[in-house]
A and B are shown apart, each in its own frame.
Chain A
């Protein structure tokens, strides 16, 4: 009797195993288990990939494609595409699909027909790894420019100032000298151009591919002849939140087609990450979404901790949650301020929100030494304990006042001043609608997904840290327009305050307890090989880190960032077509992107 009761919840709790078994029954020939130690998931033969994906989406409930990325398995002369697919309804872990193809001619069927959200991610894999996606509607380079030669994330691609395969470079360590490769190779002799490219000429039609998708569609049924205009909004534009460009075809002021162009800030974060040692990557993650460095740290640290299998002491977990939630408030204050600014409310709400954001930054400064680039988390803990005082007040008292008085008051004020404003409502209600189905299909995450009525929050769906012990609601709104994306950020800030209020007593209780596991030592442990995918609910959405490690070596073999800002942009065209140019800026503001993370 007892066996039956125990068995039933077991199958429900393990939707991944259940679905895996089901899949294996259906596609016995084309699926095989991952055999490498420390790796997980199923290896799919590429020709059946689309069918497997369709089955997963339609019949097994795994309807949310979180991450698509490629891995260069140069030793096996293979390219691997890794898919992480989650279930919105059931929550829990991912089903990991892997398709392996020949390295010299890597062609994988595109999953865009199944999940349109794969669009940008597949383009990124093509751009950086040279994997062709058969059936992709618009397979162009996305992060590097059209005159770029080669695919930089391939292991045999070398940058113009190539020095060594991984850090620390011999030129700088252990002597600490400042001799740099740039000095030895002042003209960058190994700079390469694509065939046919003349660096000094302008005969290379760089952007023809970009504009072909936007050609003017003549409407023959209307006797009044109108002409459509193609306008470039950005990259130098005050309200694209950075160097982001949108090529927009306009009919009058109505948008008929839109293509985002990005990569102006591209620095190949992932290549840098693969050159770095594991610990060196933490400060680099700060620079992804430079507003939320704390939660970026957490995502990366969780992924490496999975590889290391390390424990985190209790106090460190509470400190992590405190900082991550403060970061969320910080980010949302910023996002709302800019959204309202995009609606034309000349900076006033933004600056009002800044007063409280400033206090949070002061706290971060006292805690980690930096206001924005915190570099705070470590594998197995955090770097520093709470400071004695912040702005002349004892820390806990400062936090108490911040969380219980200042922030609620600021939110109340903002809510009072702006939420009911007629112009704000007229500009945002019903604008930029994204249906719940589209929100899932386009792999949107975070506030964008939840404002469309999908109550999916990684903190609940696949809890990490101590979130399962905390009492909070997943904020959700159902209209999927700009106004709801505005409101949901307010809701989330209230929830974050609720979480922090629960955390504060524990911080008081655990005072003096260790904040990092293990003994302090100079030689850091490095992972013993394997792969790990960790995701956190970043303020902008689901931030995932996919890290693989070789059995030996101090640097990751593959380091991939599933950037929420980047993937949320996939839905931009869906949201904007049919609206006015003025709405475009507001819609972009409501997605809340940071270009450091989009371009990586």
Chain B
């Protein structure tokens, strides 16, 4: 296959996956509203559209009420007046929502959605992704998430509003702080899999027992907390803290420009959920995935869905940190723990590779009189 054909195929796959995730984003908002409502003893949106299920009494039962809610929301956002406040920095103000959405889409490039698979005569090897075989995949993910902060910071600055600037400053400080812990934790799966390629990291987690979450539960927890902080989800949703900053950096935005920030947040939720699944929960792997590779889509979809549900559950449950507490938590707890974890894992891996670990272990047992 020539590079040109490869590029064309990546383009097509990229289009399909992006389209799927944008649809997913729309329904994630519905999922969030519905699930949050159920957790709070409410019903949630149930007016826009339903699936009629015929019943014996003749009157069809309304199943999945509210199924068209995302479409209604989108229409509403598109038809809202797109206000540009008078004293904003027009260029940056327009650029900011784009800079928020673009990284959210770019992250999707390296996530493996299935194993080696043949669709319509095309064989995707070594795994199904927009850009398979990127040997620094995980660093790419970190790099792109670190760009995501620009959308927020620029929106805050360009709005020329104190609330927005406070939101922007909080965002940048928070993201920089938690990126450290996140980056150091990502090193653990890299070391365990001996590769930075996300596909190989998945391949290293053959069975359920091999999932890195069981080998490194601490790293998985830190990664999840860091991901929540990176996403600015509860309990780290300070920069849009409604109670303090109204809506933080988006306070001056209206219509679809506001919608784009919203979109970026939810697409990043999906992407980071999928990455967590990839790094710690075996990605697209699951029972019978080697025989039927198409099951990979199902498995990673399911794992991502569970991740999203947990995020929403956390949002319904936990109050918000205060800004200084958030910073203290990031620098004084998360960072030292992740450094320590990383160093300890590194030492053990080196000991094992050098063949010292096994004798050391046996000798220790003997010394203790157990072995």
Direct contact of A and B (CB under 8 A): yes
| Cβ-based interface call for A421 (8 A) | yes
A355 pairs with B41, CB closer than 8 A:
yes
Q: When the two chains form their complex, are residues B246 and A426 in contact, meaning their CB atoms are under 8 A apart?
A: no
Q: Do the beta carbons of A426 and B316 come within 8 Å of each other?
A: no
Query: Size range of the interface on B?
Result: 20 to 34
Using A238-B242, A239-B243, A581-B244 as known contacts, say yes or no to A351 and B42 having CB atoms under 8 A apart.
Answer: yes
CA distance A495 to B36 in the complex (A): 33
Bound CA–CA A506/B56 (angstroms): 53
Interface-facing stretch out of A184-192, A299-307, A340-348, A541-549: A340-348
Contact residues of B: prevailing secondary structure: helix
Q: How far is the CA of A229 from the CA of B241 in the complex (A)?
A: 19
Whether B162 pairs with A346 at a CB distance below 8 angstroms is no
Interface residues on chain A, size class: 20 to 34
Contact A424 B162 (CB under 8 A): no
Number of A-B contacts (CB under 8 A): 82
Are B162 and A582 in touch, CB under 8 angstroms? Answer: no
When C-beta atoms are compared, the residue in chain A nearest to B247 turns out to be A238
Determine whether the beta carbon of A348 is less than 8 Å from that of B243. Answer: no
Q: A231-B162, A253-B324 are in contact. Are A344 and B234 (CB under 8 A)?
A: yes
Among candidates B36, B166, B235, residue contacting A344 with C-beta atoms closer than 8 Å:
B235
B135 an interface residue at 8 Å Cβ cutoff? no
Q: A231-B163, A346-B234 are in contact. Are A423 and B243 (CB under 8 A)?
A: no
A583 to B241, CA, bound (A): 12
Residues of chain B from 209 to 245 with CB closer than 8 A to chain A in the complex = 234-235, 237-238, 241-245
B6, CB-defined interface residue at 8 Å: no
- B123 in the interface (beta carbon within 8 A): no
- B39 at the binding interface (Cβ < 8 Å): yes
Residues B317 and A348 in contact, CB atoms below 8 Å apart: yes
Instruction: Check if B315 is an interface residue, CB within 8 A of chain A.
Output: yes
- State the CA gap A596–B196 with chains docked (Å): 61
Q: Which residue of A lies closest to B324 (CB)?
A: A580
In the complex, the answer to whether A238 meets B322 with C-beta atoms within 8 Å is no
**Chain A positions within 8 Å of B292 at CB level:** none
A449 → chain B closest CB, angstroms: 25
B249, chain A: closest CB distance, angstroms: 15
Contact B162 A229 (CB under 8 A): yes
Identity of the chain A residue whose Cβ is nearest the Cβ of B42 in the assembled complex:
A351
Q: Give chain B residues whose Cβ lies under 8 Å from the Cβ of A101.
A: none
Cross-chain contact B320 with A423 (CB below 8 angstroms): yes
Interface: B318 (CB within 8 A): yes
Q: Looking at A340, A344, A354, which has the most chain B CB atoms within 10 Å of its CB?
A: A344
- Contact A427-B325, Cβ < 8 Å, known A344-B234, A347-B40: yes
Establish whether residues A582 and B319, one from each chain, have CB atoms under 8 Å apart when the complex forms. no
**Interface contact B322-A427, CB-CB below 8 Å:** yes
B322→A237 contact, CB < 8 A? no
> Cβ of A237 and Cβ of B241 under 8 Å apart?
no
Q: Does A585 sit within 8 A of B, measured CB to CB?
A: yes
- CB proximity of B209 to chain A, nearest CB, Å: 33
Within 8 A of A (CB), among B267-314: none
23 A-B pairs (CB sep. < 8 Å): A229-B162, A238-B242, A239-B242, A253-B166, A253-B324, A344-B235, A344-B241, A344-B320, A344-B321, A345-B317, A345-B319, A345-B320, A348-B39, A348-B316, A351-B40, A351-B41, A354-B41, A580-B322, A580-B324, A581-B166, A582-B322, A582-B323, A585-B244
